[in-house]
Chains A and B, each alone.
Chain A
């Protein structure tokens, strides 16, 4: 069977992952199971190569509504948490997972607090309190280990100027610079979901990796999950682009003490050591404001919120005017200190 659900061994009620205790918890009797100790039901099942077209809920028998990328969801009729085993097995088997640390209530609280702190957010938005939906979702990510070998050649100058009699003398020393650098980047994430906005997901980082656990399907109980829609090869260019800025910064910092540096040749060889498939926790929030839907994402581990809130024109203008007034007065004071008149 490709549909997996988690029934309490004590009372038969549905069990879900509890972000507070990190245990699989029965919603009826409160019994808790340590996920790291229990066998993963996923491992016991074998699946055919083909994915099933239709999934039936074990609890009520209804057809489970899924999209092509859904890997875990809840039955829309009885609400039981189900994991679609065949979409998490074989080549789709995640290696790692970071379980949710922020509960739904904490997420809502944190989001409200974040709204109130927006300096440019309209007052109505802050207090409207219209969270339309909040969904806990395990988003598929590839974590790349990249080994980079870099060779840089550059021309550098050190310039000294001094006065000698009636002449200003500029003395320029020329250097030939060579650097060979090895840079290892580990577990650089790139989201493998088609639906998720890349920019938004990048801003959600960092996910502290000390909570990274080897994957077990019970972590998904009670949450949504997606399988990856891009393979690690497909996302490699994106992650390379992500680290290229880091590499450039490292190269720059390795060549110091020069007035000018002119890079003549630069060779960067990036080798993929490994790419691990991980599911990372994200709260997706939809917020209704003035009949428009605003989407926000929250890091399910750290509570960091990203997403474009609406901007209040009045507040932007007020800030602009305020900062202008302050800097104008500051300029006036500077002029006064230098001996100029205030007016």
Chain B
């Protein structure tokens, strides 16, 4: 009986642990009454409904990571280079969750040259380094190429949010971070352990090969291991190639004219 009580206690802990973050998320959503304008859709790619939904999403997720998740689309009439376009946007608009010119990640679409640039400032620079920004860009480039801008932006917001929850330096796509993988592994472990317990409840075999073996007389009386030949196979090591949906890629970060250092990733779509 004590054991089942202990079990119940464990279950309770789990239930509490699972519900608390949900509650805090709800509280956070309710608390941010002032919704920031995080999407600047100068190129007019989004419908009003998509805009509202994505802006709300960016506000909600950005608050949890203390970072403004910003989207900037431009027709780029002045034909400015996309990285410069992003830097100027940051310098002029001064986004930032904590302060103007603070923590922010910006997705810039240059619709004239069909180029995309991702930049992370301050906390976002630390958590979203060039490598992680490359990963995000690779994820959303196919949607951009297909013209599904709302879908691409949603991927951008959720992925940036997800990656910022992972310590810098770790692989953000580690399969062990997936809650479903964790769930399935835990289920398998529980199934195996309880299965073994059920199997063993009827008593188990406690004799082994040595129980009835006569030690002195049981032995290997003849053996040989004859070397025959050696075969060698060679396989060329594949070099990793950068395959975004569009062409080109990389780029990296820099420092804006206003003196704000940032990480970055550039590509076409």
Contacts and interface: CB of A to CB of B under 8 A. Distances in A.
B167 A339 contact: yes
Nearest to B169: A339
A174 B230 contact: yes
A332 interface: yes
A305 B13 CA distance: 37
B232 A170 contact: yes
Contact of B224 (A166, A178, A305): A178
A326 B218 CA distance: 46
Interface residues of B, number: 68
B106 to A, nearest CB: 23
A183 B229 CA distance: 32
Nearest to A149: B221
Nearest to A168: B235
Contact of A178 (B182, B223, B228): B223
Contacts of A230: none
A153 B200 CA distance: 37
Interface stretch (B80-88, B132-140, B202-210, B261-269): B202-210
Interface string B22-40: 0000000000000000000
If over half of A's interface residues share one DSSP class (helix, strand or loop), that class is named, otherwise mixed; here it is mixed
Contact of A335 (B177, B197, B222): B177
B226 A176 contact: yes
Nearest to B15: A325
B7 interface: yes
Contacts, number: 208
A271 interface: no
B1 A123 contact: yes
A176 B235 CA distance: 27
Identify whether the interface residues of B are mostly helix, strand, loop, or mixed.
Answer: mixed
Contact of A183 (B4, B193, B213): B213
Interface string A129-173: 000000000000000000000000000100000011011111111
B4 A315 contact: yes
A338 B4 contact: no
A202 B202 CA distance: 12
Contact of B177 (A177, A330, A341): A341
Contacts of B170: 338-340
A206 B212 CA distance: 9
Interface stretch (B107-115, B143-151, B184-192): B184-192
Contacts of A106: none
A243 B194 contact: no
B78 interface: no
B43 interface: no
* Contact-size category for A: 35 or more
Given A305-B203, A322-B6, A185 B213 contact: yes
Contacts of B165: 340-341, 343
B230 A202 contact: no
A166 B3 contact: no
Contacts of A52: none
B240 interface: no
Contacts of B1: 123
A322 B4 CA distance: 9
B198 A180 contact: no
A30 B214 CA distance: 42
Given A323-B193, A329-B14, A331-B185, A169 B233 contact: yes
Interface in A304-331: 304-309, 311, 314-316, 318-331
B11 A322 contact: yes
Interface string A222-240: 0000000000000000000
A175 B221 contact: no
Contacts of A304: 203, 206
A188 interface: yes
A306 B176 contact: no
Contact of A324 (B190, B213, B221): B190
Interface string A87-125: 000000000000000000000000000000011110100
A324 B186 contact: yes
Contact of A182 (B208, B217, B223): B217
B214 A184 contact: yes
B203 A179 contact: no
Given A177-B226, A206-B206, A318-B3, 18 more contacts: A119-B3, A168-B235, A173-B230, A178-B225, A180-B222, A181-B220, A184-B214, A250-B218, A254-B220, A311-B201, A319-B193, A320-B194, A324-B189, A325-B11, A334-B176, A335-B176, A341-B165, A343-B165
